[in-house]
Each structure stands twice: as C-alpha cells, then as structure tokens.
Structure 1
Amino acid sequence: MFTTRPELTGDFGMVASTHWLASATGMGVLERGGNAFDAAVAAGFVLQIAEPHLNGPGGEVPILLWSEAEQKVSVVCGQGVAPAAATIERYAELGLDIVPGTGLLAATVPGAFGGWMLMLERWGTWRLADVLAPAIHYAEHGIPVLERIAATIASVEGLFKDDWPTSAATWLPGGQVPAPGSKLANPVLAATYRRLVAEAESASSSREGQLAAARTAWYEGFVAEAIAEFSAKTAWRDSSGEVHGGLLTGDDLALWSASVEEPVTFDYRGHTVCKTGPWGQGPVFLQQLALLDGFDLDGMGYLSADYVHTVTEVAKLAFADREAWYGDADVPLSDLLSAAYNAERRPLVGVDASFDLRPGAPGGRPPKLPAFPTPGTASGAPGISGARAPQGAGLGHVGQGAGLGHVGQGAGLGHVGQGAGLGHVGQGIGEPTVAKDGSVRGDTCHVDVVDRWGNMVSATPSGGWLQSSPTIPELGFCLGTRAQMFWLQEGLPASLRPGARPRTTLSPSFALRDGRPWLAFGTPGGDQQDQWSVNFFLAVVHGRLNLQEAIDAPMFHSEHFPSSFFPRGSRPGVLHVEDRLDPDVVAELRRRGHEVELQGSWTLGRLSAVARDGAFLKAAANPRGAQGYAAGR
C-alpha cells in the first residue's frame, strides 16, 4: 500500500516523535554514546520548547520502558496529584460543580520534571547539564513557529491581553502573535533551566548527586517557591468565567515524588501489551483486546465494514467501563480483564451501532456513572443534532462551567490540550480554535526510542500548555490543568480527593512478541489515544502492515463516550473516519446506524513507533500535520 515515507530500518538506534527537533535531539544523544533513556529525556525537554502549545514544564509524563539489563518492562509515573486543599467541598464553596478547564484551580503537582529525572537517574547515563543543553539552546535562541503554535496563540490573544498579562509578555513578543515560520524564544525558561543546572553542579560533583539536587530545587527550592507564591497570591479568570486563585502549595510539591510501578498487561495472539495502571486510561486498551479476542478480525478483513463496526462497538463497551471504574482507587482490573467477564460482555456487540453507555458489573459489583453534562453538549460541538443521551446521564454543568458569555472577552476558555473534540479542528494535528463552549483545542506529544543495546522507551508528555494557565513570570512556564479530569461528585473512582492522581488520558504503549521486547508506540489525542493506538496495533497484527503502513492507513474513532475534558460532553453514536476509507464501507456503517462524519484525508491520529524486529531496529512516524518524524540508522 502507499506510504508517505519509508519504514526506517537499521541496527544502531531509532527515535520517533511528534516533532523533528525532538527526534533529531534524541538521535544526537544516541550518536554520542547515550542510551535510550538519555535520548528520551533530552527529546522530552526539547518537546517542551518546540511544542509549547502541547506540553510544558508544568505538565506531566507517564513512561513505559524496557530495560535490557533488568529484562523487564517498568512504568514511570510522572503524574502529579491533587493539592491537599483540593476537596469537593472547596469547589462547592466557590459555586463550582465541575473543575474549570483553565487557570489555577485545575492545577495538580507538576510531575513531568520528576518523572524525567527518575528515569534518567535509574536507567540513564548522562548528566543533567547534558540532557538539558538542547532545550536550553532552543529556549534561548528560539524555535521555528509552527502554524499551529501561531494559531493557538492567536486564539487566546484576547485572553492574554485582557486577563493574563504574564502570558502576553511571554507569548506575544512585541505585543503581536508570532508569525508562522518566525523564531520564538523563551529566555526566562532558559534561565530557569540554567539555574537548575548551576545549583545542581554546585551541590554535588556526582551525576546522581546533581540529579537529586535538581529535584530538590524543583520541588522544594526556587521553582517550588515561585509556584507556591504565584498560586497563593494571584488570581485569574478561568473557564468558569470567574476569577480564582490556586490551591497548590509548597508542601504539595515537597511531599510528591515520581514513582516506578509494574505495568498492567494482557496477552493477545502471541503479544503481551503493557500499559499504565487505571489511574490513567491505559487499561482500556487491554479491555478492548480482551473483547476482540473472541472475534475473527482476520476473517472479517482489515478495514471492512464488519471490522470497523466491531472495533468501534468494542471501544464503546471498554470506555464505558473506564467511566464507571477507573481512577486512582481500588479498581477491579483482574475481573475487567478476565475471560469470564469479557465472554459475558461480548454479546453486547450487535449488528447495529449502539447509542447507550453500558458499563459492566465486574465480579458482580454494580457500576456507578458520574452525572454527565447535558446530552448533546459535546466538547467542541454543543447541541449537535443527533447526539443522544448516554444511559444514566445527568443534567447540569455546562451552563455554569462553559462561561459562554465571556468568550468574546477572551475569558471562559476551556480545556486546552491533549484532548477532547480534536476531530472538529483537524483531529490529531493540534490545529486550535476557540469553540462555542469556550474551549481551546490542542493536543499533546509523544516520543519513542530504541538503542543498539535493546533498551526501549515510550513516553507521552503533556499538560502545562501555554493556553492552560497564566505564565509564572519568574519561571517562564505555566501550571497544568489536569485536575479537570476529576469529578466533583462523591463516591466515584475518579472523584476529586487530596493527594489523588487524576484519571488521565495519557497512555504510552509497549508490546512484547513471543515474550521478547518488540514495540514501543503511542499517540497524542486525549480520549482518542487508546482508540488510535489500538487501531495501529491491530493494523500490524491483523492487517499485517509494517509500522509506516499502519500509521498511514485510514484512521477512525468513536466520539460516543463522555470526554475527559471540560465540559465533559459526549456524542453518542458518532463515528469519525478519514475520507480515504472505502465509500462502500462508509455506506454500510451508516446503514448499521453509525452517525459517520467524514474527516479530512490525513487528519486522524498522530502515532509514532519504534521496534526491535529480528536483527533490525525499526521506526515510523506520523505524516499528518507535517511535523512528526523518525530518525535512525
């Protein structure tokens, strides 16, 4: 089949990411003797500079890695937690029943720095100064402004000028939106990272000592002090339409640290897929495989109507369980992934499209769904004709949370990142716009690395987008807004609780084949991540495509289930497909009841991947949006 570029093949090292500067940076580290972990960290910090509308220092990062020395897969959790003062009662006192999509009230502890540092210390070999050098260079000298960066800044120009002047000072050089193709620097952030390196080197002469000192400076020293003071002493208009300060304190930062966890796994047709725990949405990938294991996808034919229908209906069931069961809580994963449970659920996949949200009862436990926003108020598509109420849907939220009256003033802006409703704006390529509900579209980042020793990394950094929250002037970056993924309702696995992790959409992937490390892969895309990634994986396993063919193949996803992002809407029955899908297949899907919305030919998905395949290393990256690239030899 046609591919936009070749699948890369070599035996030295491979890097694939959502931006060419990050891929080139990671490859440069490998060329100079660094391993996959060093390369991923350096690339990750460059992504903060190259794609500031998609991730930043105030965000988070989950990582899946294979250590050749340890012969195992590990999860690094760089996801920060809710502040100690972040209680449902506190938000109720402010008149809120949904966490705003922007501003200080949505901040969790910024975990990305701790996550990158933990991986570097435990598995890497390079020093702090070396891995930060490329990011410092680009922050100081500037990066080429992508059209999507310029469009993002343009969409919030009024907000910055009217309400967030510290952001205007950072992202509107000379008071103007930077032009596509121009250079955009962030000298304050460069100075922040230079100071981290200086303090680390003055504290210790050893690599490990310097990394420990940098973590201390970030979570207990000058960075933490600036974050805490900004949160306590300033207040800003957010997507509620009101002005609020923050809840994050120095103690919140000091008490948090990144952690290493075991992955959750599922065996499928000779492959073992590894994901993060259910504090993120990762296991929903595995639930889809557990359901699909009982269907003959090979017999259906890759991208046939039967195939697309089955994969879509299975996703609806798995994501319904995400809504009812996932969170930083005691989640019955063994039951959710069990053969008996999935045999019971599989007959729910009928011949026609479902319009209900149908969580199961693992182990006989009754499911409990949140009270969702008013049906039809999808992220980016409020009041779309044909959207139907999910079963058990509640009322409320959107009128209070959307801040529609403030959009013209630049306020009331909703979620801004990796997430919901990307399909309405050039899904998967991060083309931003201000929607009717006040939300701002965006995306996130991904990077994969494999080195000549066999080490592998899959990482999905996100959050801390330049549109998220006002810039902290002393640091050159803003806080994240991941707390918008909590529910302000008691008794749910994803209910807001102090010290809990939000149930994120960030979902790197790793797979072994016949017990050996094989594939590191992932994509931006919020709720779509564990649809696009599943589609890619199935294209390789059942479609027998190579990595680049699987990335380039026509992509599809469902918008059926509730969004993880403000204002938490859904579009039951809606199926997005790239218009390259066979028209006869599209017609048959519509006959079965799917509300198919055709998207641009190259608009869905932003996957990248690296692999160990026999004697070779391989890599591929997404052509959509013209910025993702793989490099290797």
Structure 2
Amino acid sequence: MTDFTTRPEIRGTFGVVTSTHWIASAVGFGILEKGGNAFDAAVACGLVLQVVEPHLNGPAGDLPAILHDAQSGKIRVLCAQGVAPAGATIAQYRAEGLSLVPGSGLLATVVPGAFDGWMLMLRDHGTLSLRDVLEPAIGYARDGHPMLPAVSRAIDGLAEFFAREWPTSAAVWTPGGSVPEPNALFRNPDLADTYERLLSEAEVQSGRDAQIDAARAIWREGFVADAICDYLETAEVMDVSGSAHRAVLDRDDMKNWQASYEETTSLDYHGWRVHKTGPWGQGPVLLQALAILRGIDFDTMDPNGPDFVHTVIEAIKLAYADREAFYGDPEHSEIPMDVLLSEEYAASRRALIGKRASLEQRPGRIPGFEHLADACIARAARTVQAETGASAGEPTMAHLTDRRGDTVHLDVIDRWGNMVSATPSGGWLQSSPVIPGLGFPLNSRAQMFWLEEGMPGSLAPGRRPRTTLTPSLAEKDGRRIAFGTPGGDQQDQWQLIWFLRFVHHGMDLQQGIDAPLFHSLHFQGSFYPREAKPGVMMIEPGVDEATIAALRARGHEVVVAAPWTVGRLTAALREADGTVQGAATPRLMQAYAIGR
C-alpha cells in the first residue's frame, strides 16, 4: 500500500460536496457558500447532474437517497423510485409477445420519480427557495455546458436510430442534424423552458413550502404531466424487442404517486452501523456480504492479493444469489430480511466459501421460501439471448454506443453535520424518446421486473422495481461516512471493497477509491437481457500478475479490464470533531470533490 493518490483528499471544516461531475460539485458547494444546507446543495447538484450527464440520469428517472438530519439525529431513506403503472400487468406484456420487459422504449417506463423526490427533500429538509436550487440547472440548460466526450460518443452511436425511430430525441440531442462535438457548448432550451415555466407557475403561490408543493403538483397533474400523457396517448415506438410498442403509463399513474420516506435497513460491522435502502433496492446485498465476511480475518490480508479478492468475490456471489431469489418491494411481498441479515444465516453462508471459485447459483434455503430459491436457480440456468433491436444493457442500447457510465452519485456534508448520499439514475437519453417540448425522456426501470408470476420481482401494478440504485451511510463513535457509486449491479460490489479496505487496512477515502477494483458477473444481471455469467469476474490491472494468475488457478474466469475503468466511487466523511473530508474517483475523468 502506498500513500500516493491520484488526487489530494479534500479536507476542511465548512463542508464538502463530491459528485460524478465537476460542474455539479461546484454548483452544490456554491449553494453551501450561499448559506444553504446539505439538502439544498444536494438538490441543486442533482438537478445539474441531469443537465450535464444526460446519458446517465434525467428528471423522469429514479432517486434513492439516505439522509442524516443533524438536528434530530435521524437517518432515513428518501424513496423516489416510481412504481409500475396500473396497466402494467404480466398478462398485458405477455399479450404483446414478450418474455422480458424491453430494456428501452415506452413499455419499460415506470412512474417518473426523481423530480418529486428532489422536491420532497428540499421542502422538508432544505432552507433555500425553489428558485435558488433550480436556477443553476436552468442556466446550464439555457446557456450551455461543455459536452462530455462520453455524451458525444453516446449520441453519435444513436444518431441514425434517433433520426429514424425517435425523432423527438433527434431534435434535442442532434440539433440541426449534427452530433455535438466533444467539449463543445451544448444547450437544451426545451428543458430550460420546462423548468422556467414550472418555476413561474409555482411562484404564484405565497411562501416557500407552498411553492415547492405547487411544483410537485404541476409535475404530477399540470403541464408536465399533460405533455407526457398527451404524447403517450398516440406514441408507438421501437424498442429492443424489435417491435414498436405503446406505453401503459397514464394520467392517473402520474397523479397518484409521490415520493416518501422510510427507515433504513442496517447492520453492525466492526463497530460501524451501515445504513442502506430496503429490499426494493439492492442495498441489503452489501449488508449481507458484510454479515458473511464478519467472520473473516481481513486485517492480515493483502487488500490487493488473491485471498482478499477470492473471499470477497465468493461472498458477493452468495449475497447476490439471495438478491435474485428474495428481494422485491416489501409492500407487495414478504421478504425474509431478518433471516437474511441474521448471524446464524450468515455463518451458514460463510461456510460455503471454499478454496475454489463456485460456478453455481446458490441462494439460501429459507423455510417457507424454498420455491423462490428454486425459481432463481432455474431462471439463471436459462440462457437469454438479446434480440436485435434498439437496446441492451445499462445504459440501454449499449450495443450501439459507448457502454461506460450508467448512473450518477453525490455525497454532501455541511458545517452543521447534515449529510446526503444520493444515487439518481434513469431517464437517460438512451432509454426512451424525448417528450416533445419538455427536453427529457422517460425512464426504463421496469426492465428489472420479471414476466413470471409469484416472485417478489414479478411485474405488478403499483410495485417498485427491484432497482440497483444503492446509496450508503455509515456511522461509528460520532464519525459518519456518505458514499456510493454508479455501476448497476456493480454498485454494492465496489462499495463493499472500498469499505473493507477503509475499515481493515486503514486506507483513507482517496486511497481506497484509487486502489484497483474488481467485481463479479456470476449472478443474473438486472438489466436487459438479464444474463448470468457463471464464474466470470473483472479486475483492474493495478493488481499484480501473480494475483490474477492465482485467481485463475482457483477457477475464476478472470477478465482484465482496461486501466482505470472499473468503479466511479465518491465519498465524504465527517469526523466527531466536525472536520470533513471528501474524495472522488479519477476514473472517466469527470468526478470531483470540492470542500474547505
């Protein structure tokens, strides 16, 4: 282990903002400088991320966040994961000739959640006005921002498809018929108009909270909902199935859903209390992996050595097998979370970790839930081939364009000790056609549902898809860390590795982020076409060749990634004395931490 890092770890006393784009981080920190708190800063940062990283998230996407309120001391989950529309039934999708929910297009859409979630956070926890947090996003949409090369590449790979099948997307992403050049100034005037109109209509109300509530109502049943639903009444667009389909989302779906709060799911690990979302997200897999690994002596292991990598990968396989069998919306299905996080169950899973890589899918055998484990094993055994069409993977249509990137993340701490960890996603430019006049597309999160009856992850009206989005917050003896990463199924894998190295090997935030990362592809993927790749793992070449050779000797099918391409972690820490730290990944060259 070396003290060398790609960037200095940001340290100070006033506050820190770290996110997956430097402009968003700067905007968030500017809000702190203006007198706003962490929640104000997170909202402004999140809205700007929708503008500057439109290939990774958008206003009609999804938002889970974990919030620490310094005044009350409470840590809660903000759930802005939209639900399946009332018309989204397995019978309806099967009648369309589908065996999987498409990975793009209108059938893949659940109720848009992100905007309402940001507004709920602002109203209940923020201090600044709606105008204060919206104006930065309006400015970058109206006046322009330097287009990331990755966004330009994504649009370039899709330009022909947009022109042929999704002309409303072509109008926004290829203005004048041309693909925007990397780093050229890019504007989205339709999105700026949408936010300015929403702001002007909301400000008719008197008072901060009333204006924020008005903005939420306008989104759900005002001109925004009208534009979405008017378009969906007649739109029929191509998706990955190779056929055109119409949406099932309607006005009542938009009107009747709102973001909400709930308690975290948590676990103690070596004195740290780690907080995650419930099993409607994949967050508990991190807790399950920690429970399994709680009985392993990591302190003496080389954090880049074969023993460490093998042990962690095998624990990940076991935790993710349970995710596939048992996780889903707990408001619609019984989830045996108490058993899954129990020490007795973890010990039984720990005993399954052998000296060689497992090639089996091994969900646990929990009394009363054996049928779900059997279904998981059978499902993973089926090879699902992606059909020729408009989409695959995350982001969707990745076979046509650059696959790197998928989601965004931000962590914020203010001078009072308020903290936010948020992982917005969905509604990216690859997911669905742009809604005419609004400047953004809908999401494709419904692709995480199964079109098979009787499972927690089965498609059903009003049910939350079992998302991959998974922010984190951990606390110990007055210290608190907010951390997370984009990465779909990899999110909790990279976070697990980073957290283990932080706890057991004394790596600071930036050291752990810079260290070589790895992940498993063994289990069933969450995104179309839902593949499982038994025994396959990917690792960065920063580990030595002897480690890679040793892993292969243990039966792992090791894919060595290109340098600096695995993981996009950010993290922020507040010490018990009030000092703060922040760090951000150098991978993809756009994430930054800012603080003082």
Match 1:17 to one of 16, 19, 22: 19
**Aligned mates of 1:392, 1:38 — CA distance in 2:** 44
Residue by residue over 1:78-105, the C-alpha shift from the partner in whole angstroms, topping out at 9 and shown as x without a partner, is 1000000000000011000100000000
Report the aligned-residue RMSD. Answer: 1.5
Question: 1:181-200 to 2 correspondence within 5 Å?
Answer: 181-200=183-202
**Aligned mates of 1:361, 1:575 — CA distance in 2:** 25
What are the ranges of 5 or more consecutive residues in structure 1 without an aligned counterpart? Answer: 373-389, 405-410, 420-431
Identify the residue that residue 468 of structure 1 maps to in structure 2: 431
Identify the residue that residue 208 of structure 1 maps to in structure 2: 209
For residues 188 and 491 of structure 1, do their structure 2 counterparts lie closer, same or farther at Cα, with a shift above 3 Å needed? same
**Aligned mates of 1:56, 1:150 — CA distance in 2:** 16
Q: The residue matched to 1:521 in structure 2 has which SS?
A: strand
**Aligned mates of 2:346, 2:498 — CA distance in 1:** 22
Identify the residue that residue 392 of structure 2 maps to in structure 1: 414
For residues 292 and 43 of structure 1, do their structure 2 counterparts lie closer, same or farther at Cα, with a shift above 3 Å needed? same
**Aligned mates of 2:43, 2:552 — CA distance in 1:** 45
Identify the residue that residue 370 of structure 2 maps to in structure 1: 366
Residue by residue over 1:457-476, the C-alpha shift from the partner in whole angstroms, topping out at 9 and shown as x without a partner, is 00000000011101111211
Contact 1:83-1:499 within 8 A present in 2 as well: yes
Match 2:464 to one of 483, 501, 511: 501
Identify the residue that residue 403 of structure 1 maps to in structure 2: 387
**Aligned mates of 1:548, 1:538 — CA distance in 2:** 14
Identify the residue that residue 256 of structure 2 maps to in structure 1: 255
Question: 1:439-450 to 2 correspondence within 5 Å?
Answer: 442-450=405-413
The answer to whether structure 1 residue 526 and structure 2 residue 488 are counterparts is: yes
**Aligned mates of 1:90, 1:214 — CA distance in 2:** 33
Q: Please report how far the alpha carbon of residue 303 of structure 1 lies from its aligned counterpart in structure 2 after TM superposition.
A: 2.1
Identify the residue that residue 377 of structure 1 maps to in structure 2: none
**Aligned mates of 2:402, 2:236 — CA distance in 1:** 20
**Aligned mates of 2:185, 2:373 — CA distance in 1:** 47
Contact 1:434-1:441 within 8 A present in 2 as well: no
The answer to whether structure 1 residue 35 and structure 2 residue 43 are counterparts is: no
Contact 1:14-1:617 within 8 A present in 2 as well: yes
Q: The residue matched to 2:274 in structure 1 has which SS?
A: strand
**Aligned mates of 2:460, 2:479 — CA distance in 1:** 37
Match 2:156 to one of 154, 157, 166: 154
Identify the residue that residue 340 of structure 1 maps to in structure 2: 344
Question: 1:272-351 to 2 correspondence within 5 Å?
Answer: 272-328=273-329, 329-351=333-355
| Percentage of pairs with the same residue | 54
Match 1:434 to one of 392, 399, 419: 399
Amino acid at match of 2:539: V
Contact 1:413-1:439 within 8 A present in 2 as well: no
Identify the residue that residue 622 of structure 1 maps to in structure 2: 585
For residues 471 and 392 of structure 1, do their structure 2 counterparts lie closer, same or farther at Cα, with a shift above 3 Å needed? closer
**Aligned mates of 1:494, 1:212 — CA distance in 2:** 32
**Aligned mates of 1:394, 1:317 — CA distance in 2:** 16
Residue by residue over 1:206-234, the C-alpha shift from the partner in whole angstroms, topping out at 9 and shown as x without a partner, is 00000010000000111111111212211
Identify the residue that residue 571 of structure 2 maps to in structure 1: 609
Identify the residue that residue 266 of structure 2 maps to in structure 1: 265
Match 1:480 to one of 403, 428, 443: 443
Contact 2:445-2:467 within 8 A present in 1 as well: yes
Q: Please report how far the alpha carbon of residue 370 of structure 1 lies from its aligned counterpart in structure 2 after TM superposition.
A: 8.3
Amino acid at match of 2:171: A
When normalised by structure 1's length, the TM-score is 0.91
The answer to whether structure 1 residue 490 and structure 2 residue 453 are counterparts is: yes
Identify the residue that residue 455 of structure 1 maps to in structure 2: 418
Question: 1:358-397 to 2 correspondence within 5 Å?
Answer: 358-363=362-367, 365-369=369-373, 393-395=380-382, 397=384
174-183 or 524-533: bigger deviation = 174-183
Residue by residue over 1:82-137, the C-alpha shift from the partner in whole angstroms, topping out at 9 and shown as x without a partner, is 00000000001100010000000000011001111111111100111110000000
The answer to whether structure 1 residue 541 and structure 2 residue 491 are counterparts is: no
Contact 1:415-1:468 within 8 A present in 2 as well: no
**Aligned mates of 1:86, 1:501 — CA distance in 2:** 12
**Aligned mates of 2:391, 2:402 — CA distance in 1:** 5
Q: Please report how far the alpha carbon of residue 344 of structure 1 lies from its aligned counterpart in structure 2 after TM superposition.
A: 1.3
Contact 2:57-2:425 within 8 A present in 1 as well: yes
213-222 or 299-308: bigger deviation = 299-308
The answer to whether structure 1 residue 592 and structure 2 residue 551 are counterparts is: no
Contact 1:578-1:601 within 8 A present in 2 as well: yes
Match 1:567 to one of 529, 537, 554: 529
Contact 2:301-2:307 within 8 A present in 1 as well: yes
Q: The residue matched to 1:498 in structure 2 has which SS?
A: coil
Residue by residue over 1:543-563, the C-alpha shift from the partner in whole angstroms, topping out at 9 and shown as x without a partner, is 210000000001011111111
Contact 1:236-1:245 within 8 A present in 2 as well: yes
**Aligned mates of 1:433, 1:352 — CA distance in 2:** 33
Q: The residue matched to 2:370 in structure 1 has which SS?
A: coil
Q: The residue matched to 1:609 in structure 2 has which SS?
A: strand
Residue by residue over 1:129-182, the C-alpha shift from the partner in whole angstroms, topping out at 9 and shown as x without a partner, is 110000000000111111100111011111101111110000001101111010
For residues 266 and 161 of structure 1, do their structure 2 counterparts lie closer, same or farther at Cα, with a shift above 3 Å needed? same
Q: Please report how far the alpha carbon of residue 330 of structure 1 lies from its aligned counterpart in structure 2 after TM superposition.
A: 1.9
**Aligned mates of 2:201, 2:479 — CA distance in 1:** 38
Contact 1:98-1:397 within 8 A present in 2 as well: no
Q: Please report how far the alpha carbon of residue 66 of structure 1 lies from its aligned counterpart in structure 2 after TM superposition.
A: 0.4
Question: 1:227-266 to 2 correspondence within 5 Å?
Answer: 227-266=228-267
Amino acid at match of 1:85: G
For residues 261 and 276 of structure 1, do their structure 2 counterparts lie closer, same or farther at Cα, with a shift above 3 Å needed? same
**Aligned mates of 1:78, 1:320 — CA distance in 2:** 26
Contact 1:415-1:439 within 8 A present in 2 as well: no
**Aligned mates of 2:591, 2:300 — CA distance in 1:** 33
For residues 607 and 255 of structure 1, do their structure 2 counterparts lie closer, same or farther at Cα, with a shift above 3 Å needed? same
Contact 1:279-1:326 within 8 A present in 2 as well: yes
Match 1:556 to one of 492, 515, 518: 518
**Aligned mates of 1:291, 1:362 — CA distance in 2:** 16
Contact 1:371-1:395 within 8 A present in 2 as well: no
Amino acid at match of 1:86: A
Q: The residue matched to 2:588 in structure 1 has which SS?
A: coil
Contact 2:305-2:543 within 8 A present in 1 as well: no
Q: Please report how far the alpha carbon of residue 393 of structure 1 lies from its aligned counterpart in structure 2 after TM superposition.
A: 3.3
Q: Please report how far the alpha carbon of residue 519 of structure 1 lies from its aligned counterpart in structure 2 after TM superposition.
A: 0.1
Amino acid at match of 1:554: P
